[in-house]
Amino acid sequence: MSNLKLNRRGLLQSALAWAGAGLWIGRGERAAGFVAANDRPRIGAVGTGSRWCQKATGIDGPHGAAPSIRAFGDYVAVCDADEQRRNLAAKLVHEWTKSEPEIVADYRRVIDRPDIDIVHISTPDHWHAKIAIEAMLAGKDVYCEKPMTLTIEEGRQMAAVCRRTNRVVQIGTQQRSDVEFIKAIALIRDGRIGQLQKAVCRIGGSPTSPKLPQVAAPSHLDWNLWLGPAPLVKFRYLAGDNGETKSWSRCHYEFRWWYEYSGGKLTDWGAHHVDIATWAMDKTETGPVAIDPIRVKHPVPLKDGYPTDDSQYNTATEFLIRAKYADGLELDIQHDGDNGIMFEGTEGRLFVNRGRVTGKAVEELKSRPLPDSALERVYKNRPLVDHFRNFFEAVVARKEPISDVFSHHRALTTCHLAGIAARLGRPLRWDPLAEKILGDEQAQAFVSRERRKGFEIEV
């Protein structure tokens, strides 16, 4: 990258830093433009499934972060445990950049490259924290798809390493950059529904599956590597008209419905809606004190919180779980109802999801608009921009992005606690300062997980 002689102060004073093309500073004070060829951040992709880009999975679909991120930097390496997916990703990168990226199976090859500035993580959930932590320790900035972690302990580790290394890490909870959600929070903070009393997050329930037979993993998939920190188990797969993979399995996309690799809907959609609710309730630096699994249904029997049948999906299909805070605020997480968040105040209610925000407070905006810059104040006193631009602008300024590690850890902790309570079938008491479950050693053991030998996290 070009060694332009621009100091950090001069760079940040430039209007380009926040308005037009933008500028970027990486390790070694190298300055680079978002637009000019040869002067762009170099990005390594770890995990190239549908959250990276659906086209890399063989689906000609619109979803994935990479097509948007490539506006701000160039992918120079692609990594995946599935040879087919990494090769498809490489073809896409060649179309975008006219250059051949490095193609690897081992993420450490990406992290070890001194010329890579940003690591984009789109792996299954159980890999997120280890790769992100090692990337930060190697001096990389990170864009990590949600949920950030598989356990509460991993969140604490992520926060500690981010604080120590001062790296910029954005979590892919893109609702934080969605004007409808920001408008809802601005209305709440301006007192338009009175004193906030409760938030209800409606996130849908996990699907069920037939019994899946044990079969040989496909030759293009390194199943041992895909499992990584998770327990070594047999590959299970059944073809059928189900989801984007047209199958049920323990693997691509369907990993979300296995506690071994994810938290089901509690950390899938929960990572989005509970995050927004936590932000709106101004609880991003604390957490609930009590979690009550009022109603929970699992597709398989559980014993001591662990599934007793490993042949089918095991995360909760139905649930109503209530989190209570020290000041009396409540947050419900439930599977049923219109997907979105209902905020209840002393003077009204407000509903928001992707696409709309409704309620009397919204209707009154015509005659009583929000104060100037109300949305920007919610958005950490910055202009509202696309979620990916927010990340790259934060990299420029060496500032915290809108979806930072620390607040996401707090919101996701509530999701993880809901999952622990659901698995054990009993209420929990939580100390948000010590970040510890009180009076329940069995439940406290779920705050962390044993990792397979060779895949430990070292911080």
Q: What is the CATH number of the domain that holds 243?
A: 3.30.360
Q: What per-residue confidence (pLDDT) applies to 61?
A: 84
Whether 266 is in a domain gets the answer yes
Q: What per-residue confidence (pLDDT) applies to 37?
A: 54
Residues 230 and 105 in one domain: no
Strand ranges inside 315-442, DSSP E? 318-324, 330-334, 340-345, 348-353, 356-358, 428-431, 436-438
Residues 205 and 153 in one domain: no
Residues 168 and 228 in one domain: no
Q: What per-residue confidence (pLDDT) applies to 9?
A: 31
Percentage above 90 pLDDT, the chain: 90
CB 192 within 8 A of CB 296: no
Where is the domain boundary, 379, 397, 415?
A: 397
| Domain assignment of residue 19, given as a range | 8-174+390-397
DSSP letter at 100 equals P
Q: How many CB atoms lie within 10 A of CB 190?
A: 15
Q: What per-residue confidence (pLDDT) applies to 34?
A: 60
Mean pLDDT of the chain: 92
Residues 215 and 146 in one domain: no
Whether 253 is in a domain gets the answer yes
| Per-residue pLDDT tens digits for 376-390 | 999 999 999 999 999
Residues 413 and 279 in one domain: yes
Whether 361 is in a domain gets the answer no
Q: How many CB atoms lie within 10 A of CB 453?
A: 8
Whether 92 is in a domain gets the answer yes
User: Is pLDDT of 142 > 70?
Assistant: yes
Residues 54 and 160 in one domain: yes
How confident is residue 27, by pLDDT bands cut at 50, 70 and 90? very low
Strand partners, 79: 46, 104
Strand ranges inside 47-86, DSSP E? 74-79
Q: What per-residue confidence (pLDDT) applies to 436?
A: 98
3-class SS of residue 52: coil
Residues 335 and 439 in one domain: yes
User: Is pLDDT of 405 > 50?
Assistant: yes
Residues 159 and 265 in one domain: no
Residues 133 and 198 in one domain: no
Residues 210 and 287 in one domain: yes
DSSP letter at 56 equals G
How confident is residue 14, by pLDDT bands cut at 50, 70 and 90? very low
Whether 1 is in a domain gets the answer no
Percentage above 70 pLDDT, the chain: 92
Q: Which of 25-39, 177-191, 306-320 has the lowest mean pLDDT?
A: 25-39
Q: What per-residue confidence (pLDDT) applies to 38?
A: 59
User: Is pLDDT of 288 > 60?
Assistant: yes
Q: What per-residue confidence (pLDDT) applies to 28?
A: 35
Residues 204 and 293 in one domain: yes
CATH classification of the domain holding 69: 3.40.50.720
User: Is pLDDT of 95 > 60?
Assistant: yes
Whether 366 is in a domain gets the answer no
| Per-residue pLDDT tens digits for 143-188 | 999 999 999 999 999 999 999 999 999 999 999 999 999 999 999 9
User: Is pLDDT of 36 > 60?
Assistant: no
What is the number of structural domains in the chain?
A: 2
Whether 423 is in a domain gets the answer yes
Residues 207 and 297 in one domain: yes
- The residue assigned the tokens 């040989």 is 216
User: Is pLDDT of 374 > 70?
Assistant: yes
pTM (two decimals): 0.93
Q: What per-residue confidence (pLDDT) applies to 35?
A: 54
Q: What per-residue confidence (pLDDT) applies to 234?
A: 98
By residue count, the chain amounts to: 459
Q: What per-residue confidence (pLDDT) applies to 317?
A: 98
CB 361 within 8 A of CB 184: no
User: Is pLDDT of 423 > 90?
Assistant: yes
Whether 265 is in a domain gets the answer yes
3-class SS of residue 113: coil
Give the separation between CA 32 and CA 366, rounded to whole angstroms.
43
What's the whole-number mean pLDDT along residues 366-370?
97
| Per-residue pLDDT tens digits for 311-341 | 999 999 999 999 999 999 999 999 999 999 9
